[in-house]
Amino acid sequence: MTVRGLEAGIVTHDGENLSRFYERGLGFTLNRILEFPQGTVHRLHNGQAMLKIFQPAEAPHDADGNGWSNTCGFRYAAIHVADAAATVQQAIDAGASVLTPVTPHRPGAAFALLTDPDGNVLEILQEDPT
């Protein structure tokens, strides 16, 4: 089996606001908005990264607030970038909050942890391609 791609999905109360954050803060492009009886999907991409932002027709429950690393399962997404510092600043300007500032963690690599306006955790990862 060959996987042709992986698309992350985020459930939100406000699809327009969260879509706008990913467009302005992380350079995603809105491909299209799809309306279904179950809710609205904003489909975005940036390079090969694909993202669905889903606003259910019925308001979703909020996360339990136990912290992103205290519960098993999908809890954060890593976004690979060429310049972590510039990406973090752009995301902050669009409404992100910083959990961990840009931090070198091995030769040629640095990361930061951010939250989007809904509190979803994003790792901004810069790695030397060599």
> 7-16, 30-39, 84-93: which has the minimum mean pLDDT?
7-16
Beta strand residue intervals within the chain, DSSP E = 7-11, 29-36, 39-46, 49-56, 76-81, 97-106, 109-115, 121-127
Q: What are phi and psi of 115, to 5 degrees?
A: -120, 140
* Rounded mean pLDDT, 107-119: 95
Q: Distance between CA 104 and CA 101 in Å, rounded?
A: 10
Q: Which domains does the chain have, with CATH numbers?
A: 7-60+75-127 (3.10.180.10)
Average of per-residue pLDDT values in the chain: 90
pLDDT digits (tens, 9 = 90+) for 49-88: 999 999 999 887 776 666 655 666 678 899 999 999 999 9
- Alpha-carbon distance values, 9 to 1, 52, 79, 118 (Å): 22, 5, 14, 13
Assess whether pLDDT exceeds 90 at residue 127. yes
